[in-house]
Structure 1
Amino acid sequence: MTRPVRLLLIAGAWGFGTFCTLPPASMSWQRLYCGPNVVRHGWCDVSSVRRLVCGDTSVDSVVSLSFALVALLTTGILILSSYVLIGVSMSRMNVTERLKAVGTCAAHLTVVSISYTSASFVYISYRVGNFPPEVRIIVSVLYSALTPFLNPMIYSLRNKELRQSIRRTLSRFRPAVGPVMKETSTVF
């Protein structure tokens, strides 16, 4: 992972994010808004702002849904294809290496599945179906807060040295135990 590769990955992520979000956002800038200016969402998502528009937003919804599907499918296919390649590599490993790789992949798949499930629900629920705003807010909080919260825990706790360090730190806070007294039994 060289510096140019890192910069290319960063530029690609920002460029793809801009490509997928700028067209629907720029369409919302050109609309007239009326009524209550309260966005019922965890953040100011274009789809939640669109509900405040006075007029027809069907074209906006189609464009937004199209870009949401492109974003979800493109990144999903990239992740899925990387797992296929990992699976091919794992088939050539011995049992010990394979178990270690499965453990690492399982942690990543847990985070990815939570992220993709909630992201798909949030982005697609605005365009399809009539879900209560409270449900969207709860799921959007899962999407925006739970995944970043779980990432360090899932990946860091796999590190043996970190687990040992946490145990040593926690053992300092245990109350000191006095001398152990032997139990004696007396018969009356």
Structure 2
Amino acid sequence: MKFWKRIAVAGMATIAALSLAACGSKSSSSSTSTSNSYTPKSLNIQFVPSSNANTIEAKAKPLASLLKKELGIPVKVTVSTDYNSIVEAMKSKQVDVGFLPPDGYVQAHAQKAADVLLMAQRFGIKQPGGKSTDKLVDSYRSMIVVKKGSSIKSWKDLKNKKIAVQDVTSSAGYIWPIAELSQKGLDIVKQDTLVTVKDHDQGVMSVLN
């Protein structure tokens, strides 16, 4: 247990520097073992592909360096190929610590692959207007992005459109937006053409292109 507490302390000192920019990247760091005696010879940390993999790995380097210094063992940071593979990797103990979105954590915890070690917070966004506040929150919003000057002015205009979405297990990029639109009476799974993109950056770029 002391080992994981040291990870938590080091992680809290670094997590603010990560600034993982993604609508669906509210992340929690989770261990693959509940055993108090479990101490790996090396530490494998993995993030979901909420944005460009190279960007995530670059921003996570300070965390890897700090943990390596504090724990005295090799630390490797990678980005999973999709939102599901990180759960499987934690379940098979190929990954020790995962930064997971809500749905990923629920799946991992249900399969006894993860427990919460840290939970990220970010500055809130005041609506309407979208201005940042100085209040830390543990929630976030999804966004529907269209080109400037688009004829799409509200959710009602989304019918029969081509829409870029994230992986089906992405909370902000798929699950909650589709659920809320469905409650409003718009089933975009049936009424629109959905194109799955790998991360939120690509989602924005697909709209611009």
Could you say which TM-score interval applies, normalised by the shorter chain?
Answer: under 0.3
- Give 1 or 2: higher helix fraction: 1
> Based on CA coordinates, which of the two structures has the bigger radius of gyration?
1
- Give 1 or 2: higher strand fraction: 2
Larger RCO (CA under 8 A, 6+ residues apart): 2
TM-score for both structures, normalised by structure 1 = 0.26
